């Protein structure tokens, strides 16, 4: 087995911790989380900052704009095929629409479109990850062929599993073999979440259209053109 670089491993662990944080953790807090010295963490942060992967935010640290460049390279065709559907879902419900893919035993957000339905909006930055067994976006990616028997409803709902007071409904985007290749979800504060049946119908239809485009090898939709609209609510 190839020898791993401890420095690279520490830097990537640090980057994942910063990118996945809801706040702006300090170097001291990051050092405690990773069980590293503050000096070692400070050096790693300086290196990541020089590449635009992290940035200073007051006394703490946050994701850098360089992560956006990296995110653009993640499943670019899938992201392009799904973008119009994310925009339609966000516009229809006024809430955040999220596209996730599987990475091992985790679900990883690769794109999002924010709605304008309220002052408080849910953010899932590209690179945010969580176990497949947690939350709607993760469970929609479970595959009976590899993950054991489980229900395969058209849409999956969850509430408070990643963040208290946040609800989500997701559906699987399936490849030509019927296995999940991505999930598409609407997430919002639970107190104003749209009717589950409406969201479930919408994300399932959106996932089906994306899957159909994948199956026929279609090019991404023309941003200036039109495509099938979501069915009306009700």
Q: What is the pLDDT of residue 184?
A: 97
Q: Would you identify the CATH topology of the domain 6-69?
A: Arc Repressor Mutant, subunit A (1.10.10)
**175 and 211 Cβ atoms separated by less than 8 Å:** yes
Q: What is the pLDDT of residue 9?
A: 86
Q: What is the pLDDT along the chain (234 residues), one digit of tens a residue?
A: 345 578 888 888 888 888 777 678 899 999 999 999 999 999 999 999 888 888 888 888 988 767 656 655 556 778 888 999 999 999 999 999 999 998 888 898 889 998 886 656 676 777 788 899 999 999 999 988 788 777 677 899 999 998 899 999 999 999 888 889 999 999 999 999 999 999 999 999 999 999 998 887 754 444 333 333 333 333
Kindly report, as residue ranges, where domains of CATH 3.30.450.40 are found in the chain. 75-215
Q: What is the CATH number of domain 75-215?
A: 3.30.450.40
Torsion sign over Cα 204, 206, 212, 214: negative
Residues contacting 170, CB < 8 A, separation 6+:
98, 100, 135, 136, 137, 139, 140, 155, 156, 183, 184, 185, 186, 203
Both tokens assigned to 82: 């799904």
Would strands 156-159 and 166-174 be described as parallel, antiparallel, or unpaired? Answer: antiparallel
Q: Report which of 212, 211, 207, 218 is spatially closest to residue 85, judged by C-alpha positions.
A: 207
Q: Report d(CA 188, CA 178) in Å as an integer.
A: 28
Tokens 């699987």 -> residue: 172
């Amino acid at each position: 087995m190839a020898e791993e670089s401890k420095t690279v491993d520490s830097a990537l662990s640090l980057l994942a911790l910063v990118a996945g944080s809801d706040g702006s953790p300090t170097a001291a807090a990051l050092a405690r989380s990773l069980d590293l010295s503050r000096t070692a963490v400070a050096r790693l942060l300086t290196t990541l900052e020089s590449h635009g992967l992290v940035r200073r935010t007051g006394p703490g640290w946050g994701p850098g704009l360089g992560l956006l460049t990296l995110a653009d390279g993640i499943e670019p065709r899938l992201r392009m095929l799904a973008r119009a559907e994310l925009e339609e879902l966000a516009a229809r419900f006024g809430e955040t629409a999220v596209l996730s893919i599987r990475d091992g035993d985790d679900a990883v957000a690769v794109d999002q479109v924010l709605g304008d339905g309220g002052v408080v909006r849910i953010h899932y930055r590209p690179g945010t990850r969580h176990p497949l067994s947690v939350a709607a976006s993760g469970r929609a990616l479970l595959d009976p062929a590899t993950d054991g028997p489980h229900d395969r409803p058209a849409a999956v709902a969850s509430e408070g599993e990643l963040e208290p007071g946040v609800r989500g409904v997701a559906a699987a985007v399936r490849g030509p073999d019927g296995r999940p290749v991505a999930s598409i979800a609407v997430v919002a504060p639970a107190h104003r979440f749209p009717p589950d049946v409406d969201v479930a119908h919408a994300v399932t239809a959106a996932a089906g259209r994306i899957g159909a485009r994948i199956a026929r090898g279609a090019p991404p939709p023309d941003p200036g053109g039109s495509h099938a609209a979501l069915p009306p609510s009700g």
